[in-house]
Amino acid sequence: MLSYIIKKSITLLFSLFFVITVTFVLMQAMPGDPFSHLDNIPAEVVQALHAHYGLDKPLFQQYVTYLYKILQFDFGFSLVYQGRSINQIILEGFPTTFLLGMQSLLLSLSLGGLTGAAFSLRKKNNSFFLVFTSLWFSMPMLVIASLLQYLFAMKLHLLPVARFDSFFHTILPTITLSLFPSAFIAKLFKASLDEVTKTEHVRFAKAKGLSAKQIFFKHLLKNACLPVIAYLGPLTIYLLTGSFIVEKIFAIPGLGMWMVLSIIARDYSVIMGLTVFFSMILLTINFLVDIAYLFLDPKIQNYVIKQPI
Amino acid sequence: MNDLLSVQNLSLSISKNGEKFFPVRDVSFSINPSEIIGIIGESASGKTLTTQAILQLLTPNIALESGRILFQNDDILQKNEKEMTAIRGKEIAYIPQNPHSSLNPTQKIGSQITEVLMRHLKVAKKESIALGIQALEKVKIPYPEKCFYLYPHELSGGMKQRVIIAMALALKPKIIIADEPTTALDVTLQKEILHLLKMVHIEHKIGILFITHDMAVASHLCDKILVMYAGEIIERGLTKDIINTPKHPYTKMLLEAVPTLDKDKYHNPLRVTAGTVPQLKQTHTICPFIDRCPKSMLICTKQKPLTFNQKSKVNCWLYDERNTTNRDQKPQKKLPEKEVAGSR
Amino acid sequence: MSLNNLFEPASFSLKEYLVTNKEIKRSIFYKNRYLQIGLGIFFIIFVLSIFAPWLSPYSYKEIHLDQRNLPPCKEFIFGTDDLGRDIFTRVFWGARISFAVAFLSAFFDLLIGVVYGSIAAYSKRYVDEILMRFCDLLNAIPSLLIVILFVVLIGPGFLAIVTAISFTGWVMMARIIRAEVFKLKEANFVLASKTMGASFFTIFFQHIIPNVRFVAIATLMYSIPSAIFTEATLSFLGLGIQAPMASWGVMISDSISALRFYPWRLLFPSVILTLTTFSLNMIGEGLKKHE
């Protein structure tokens, strides 16, 4: 078992390393000089700036410095907002984005899980369910965000329009972010439940006279939630990239908004820094999912737990 | 009706391609704690569906066409799911065909036994563990305390089947339904499992409904045998009568198809009549065996055979009093026969 | 019929009593509601998009400064946007562009994915490991970010967007195809072909490829909407198709700020987009059911 965890950890580190390298390479490929937007500056000042940021050193040395800094969680400085370190940006923005992300995660899992389970236990035809969920994931987030904002905030004045000051402020953004994943999880979970219900051992459990509740929790759930847990990785990606849109529209000061602003302003170092950061989060989540699988998936258990270490 | 379990005129239907067909047609029999009843038939003869119907374990596409099943004078086909869960396991236990896939691979054996005990007997966990280990002892599993904490994939097939039987026994049910329990196991284990079942029957006075396609097994274990074909019971009676003097042409065919070590017979090729069990649309108009029967007569195409009492009860027109032709004559027509390897 | 005759030997065929396997219409449309609805809606939108240049008297870039932000009326069926352009025409021109982006990306996804997945499935264990590790690495960075970086690097434009989207989209297809090919490799009918002497290529093209069709198309039905959404997001970030070209993403992003006053500007592109992705999803569902 230990060797499995070690193997996964090595993969994690290696991927991180790869991401940092790629980011660095891309950053070098960005057109133009980072300071080209500052006009009317004498050449010596530009040179001094270059020296200050270490941009005049040989490429490889820059790379090593960059690597070293990142491993110390120092992401560097923003090019557009002078003096603002990316670390600062992350520290300011991450809690907000994290909060929003967690809320959306919880909402998606519970809404999706409950809906999927409810529809799986019904005996009647489930075409309504399929159509309904498909509808929800046909709408682009842009549209949902704008519509919700328009309807509930501006027209009906039920909820605040923007910013992130109170719990009520979080409601609309969370709902926007959760619609697609809820529908997806509902569909996934229901399909998985249907499949597990048909297996021999669940049918035998029924023949033994166990109550529906018992069967559900002890036999069905454990096996059926595997695909949902596997989906947590893509879900994180979705929440991260979705935050760009949601935070922009609802003016929430989180990492997403920073990312959008950086893209528009072509602030390359922030774009890269945030990219590396996002990748780190993603890789960590994937790692955790793999570990969770170790405890939940019987096939992996059989294969791994029986190993000597 | 003093029978413990009485199946009366059970018919099941399935809709396929817009047509209805009947895998189980007008089946009636009863079980008492003092007997072991065997149901014999080929695949698709409706044996498993009948037993699943008793416990309402049918998949939603199978509909109950007609019939009642009285358990202790109570029609259990009318009961709802909640009432059925009280019966399943506790009053009527079920032993499925494939022990390898019937146990939850991610749950320890002990836990699977105790959950049943806790549910039905409403005992605390500790007590259920003790009872569980006792149950494992009864089925002669070595080192039951250790086995309790193992996963199913760490046990052999025979042990798994014993565990399932232990689960079935632990609640002291009144009837056990065993659906081909030895089919998925090696022949060497067959004897042990059969012996176990017989002991259980004698010691605890539990009636057993045993399904099999193997005549030899049935002759060994059962007191009475029901032969099923295309969803109908075509012959029923005491084991010794059916094995020694089979009346229905189908029963005779089944017995003839059993390979034997008997010196006289083993040079002859195994004779098996070609064809399989049909899936029939209509229920009551003709005899279902008619296309494979070497002795089919005109009347067989007109009316469904009535039941005639010989030593066993047979559903065959051959045994009508009005039939003057010699029943034990050689077959009148040559049916396509399959030669099965093993001869010469 | 005398009593004697009744007991005479007779043979009989059970044919009319047997349940038949009726020849159900082999068409996959038969009773498949999802496919019917999905293909129906999609077909309508697709056809309309092809005829976009001829749908109305206006072109997609024709500006009518005196007729800005008009609600739907007789001359402009869907109304006009803030430069007085006809939304109806632009929606269906946008459909063309979005379809072009999505289908082209999906096509490359399919090509690369099938090739990569099949190679991975057929190679030795360690080669397969390496190939899959590479996929995992590519997945380490959120694909939208890669697309954004790409476009920032190369500059916005149709080709850049298509390349960028294909660059990350093939991974999912490759994974799924690989899983499918693994399963099929070991299937009995492939073994049977081998024992009869079929060459590798025969087996691959005649047996394996036809059987991955369904899975591939079902996955496509997921990648195409995904590509459409990505394009919309890019437009929102200013990295999408440039003006005066119309694409749904551009139209939606531009109309958000004016939602309060001119809701139809958001409404029509969104509805058509949603209908398109919905119909594609329905096609995917229908195919899964058919399988």
Residues of chain B in Cβ contact (below 8 Å) with chain C:
16-19, 21, 278-282, 285-286, 288, 290-291, 295-302, 317, 320, 322-325, 332-333
Query: A16 vs C279, which has greater pLDDT?
Result: C279
What pLDDT is recorded for position A109? 93
- Predicted pLDDT of residue A146: 84
Same domain, B336 and B249: yes
User: What's the total number of domains in chain C?
Assistant: 1
The 10s digit of each residue's pLDDT in C47-57 is: 888 887 787 77
- The residue ranking higher by pLDDT, B72 or C15, is B72
Chain A residues within 8 A (CB-CB) of chain C? 11, 15-16, 18-19, 22, 26, 29-31, 127, 130-131, 134-135, 137-143, 146-147, 149-150, 154, 237, 240-241, 244-245, 248-249, 260, 263-264, 266, 271, 275, 278-279, 282-283
Contact A200 B89 (CB under 8 A): no
Containing structural domain, residue C266: 19-56+84-290
For the stretch B293-305, pLDDT in tens is: 777 777 777 777 7
Band of residue B343 on the pLDDT scale cut at 50, 70, 90: very low
CATH code for the domain of C254: 1.10.3720.10
**In a domain? residue C212:** yes
The answer as to whether C127 is a domain residue is yes
The answer on pLDDT for B189 being more than 50 is: yes
Distance from CA of A112 to the nearest CA of B (A): 25
pLDDT(B283) > 60: no
Total domains in chain A come to 1
Residue C195 covered by a domain: yes
Name residue A98's beta-bridge partners. none
C95 within a domain of the structure (yes/no): yes
Per residue, the 3-state secondary structure of chain C, as one string, reads CCHHHHCCECCCCCHHHECCCCCCCCCCCCCCHHHHHHHHHHHHHHHHHHCHHHHCCCCCCCCCHHHCCCCCCCCCCCCECCCCCEHHHHHHHHHHHHHHHHHHHHHHHHHHHHHHHHHHHHCCHHHHHHHHHHHHHHHHCCHHHHHHHHHHHHCCCHHHHHHHHHHHHHHHHHHHHHHHHHHHHCCHHHHHHHHCCCCHHHHHHHHHHHHHHHHHHHHHHHHHHHHHHHHHHHHHCCCCCCCCCCCHHHHHHHHHCCCCCCCHHHHHHHHHHHHHHHHHHHHHHHHHHHC
Q: Look at residue A34 in the predicted model and tell me its pLDDT.
A: 58
Entry pTM: 0.83
Residue B63 DSSP SS3:
strand
**CATH number of the domain residue A224 falls in:** 1.10.3720.10
Q: How far apart are CA B11 and CA B22, in angstroms?
A: 7
pLDDT digits (tens, 9 = 90+) for A35-55: 655 566 677 777 776 776 666
Over residues B142-149, the mean pLDDT reads: 87
pLDDT of residue B36: 92
Q: Could you report the predicted ipTM of this complex, rounded to two decimals? A: 0.81
Residue A151 predicted with pLDDT over 50? yes
Give the total number of structural domains in chain B.
Answer: 2
Residue C281: its chain A contacts at CB < 8 A?
A: 134, 137-138
User: A57-76, pLDDT tens digit by residue?
Assistant: 677 777 777 777 777 777 77
Q: Do B322 and C3 count as a contact with CB atoms less than 8 A apart? A: yes
pLDDT given for residue A87 in this prediction: 80
Give the DSSP per-residue string, A14-25. HHHHHHHHHHHH
Tell me if A201 and B101 make a contact (CB, 8 A cut-off).
yes
CA distance A151 to C260: 9
Q: Which domain holds residue B333?
A: 244-340
Q: Is A266 within 8 Å of C152 when comparing Cβ atoms?
A: yes
Average pLDDT, chain C: 82
pLDDT at A309: 45
pLDDT tens, residue by residue, B262-278: 766 666 666 666 667 77
C7 located within any domain: no
Amino acid at A111: L
How many alpha carbons fall within 13 Å on the CB side of residue C188?
0
Domain that holds residue A160: 95-264
Q: Is residue C173 part of a domain?
A: yes
Tell me whether residue A188 is in a domain: yes
> Is there a domain that residue A179 lies in?
yes
Query: Which of A85-89, A295-299, B126-130, B282-286 is the most confident on average?
Result: B126-130
